[in-house]
Amino acid sequence: MSRFRIGSVKGKPAPRRSAFSSWLLLWSLAFAGCGYHLAGRPPGTPDAIRTFCILPLKNRTTIPRVEQILTRGLVEQFSERSAMTVTSERAGADAVLEAEVTGISATPILYGKEGFANTYLVTIWTSVRITRSKDGKVIFENPSFQFRDQYLINSDIRNFFPEQNVTMERMARDFASSIAAAFRETQHEIR
């Protein structure tokens, strides 16, 4: 019984590839589209934006402090994930982010043994606008930006309130990350 290599035609052996070319092919496939980019700027961030102002969000809901938590999430996200200097002052900023929380809901989707909900689908509705300071041009706008994700909250009353704060912080990070991604995507399309 004769042995054939992959890629051979019956009766004819497959052409041999050098070990180097096989290694090169595997290496390029493994790292193709891995998301690496040059340090300093996230992909799609306009070069002209060096200083980015994030104004405190306005709260149009009945949930207290939600605007503070989301503002903090945005500041952390843009500070940590970009080379831009983030400030809360319009003066000297190349671009300004203004947003308001227009709605928030938490819908129970899973219940624990005791009958209390322990997993919620949280939806946040906001209006977001980013303008360029030098000419007032709107460079990103979504008047009905919607963020939605599910969060596990402990139904044990002793741990509910401390965990709620941790959940809100995680939700703020996720929300801010989605805003930043939408902004970068839009900027990439403009280029």
If you average pLDDT over residues 164-189, what whole number do you get?
80
Asked whether the beta carbons of 170 and 120 are under 8 A apart, the reply is no
Q: Is the pTM of this model over 0.85?
A: no
Decide which of 26 and 64 is more confident.
Answer: 64
The verdict on residue 181 lying in a domain is yes
Structure token digits, residue 35: 């998301």
- Is the CB of residue 12 less than 8 Å from the CB of residue 4? no
Q: How far apart are CA 185 and CA 182, in angstroms?
A: 5
Which residues span the domain enclosing 98?
53-190
Q: pLDDT-derived band of residue 38, with 50, 70 and 90 as boundaries?
A: very low
Residue in the structure block whose two tokens are 């030098």 = 134
- pLDDT tens column, 120-155: 888 999 999 999 999 999 999 999 999 988 888 766
Residue 42 lies in a domain: no
For the chain, how many structural domains are there in total?
1
Q: Residue 168 domain-assigned? A: yes
Residue 67: give its domain's CATH number. 3.30.160.150
Tokens at 33, concatenated: 């589209």
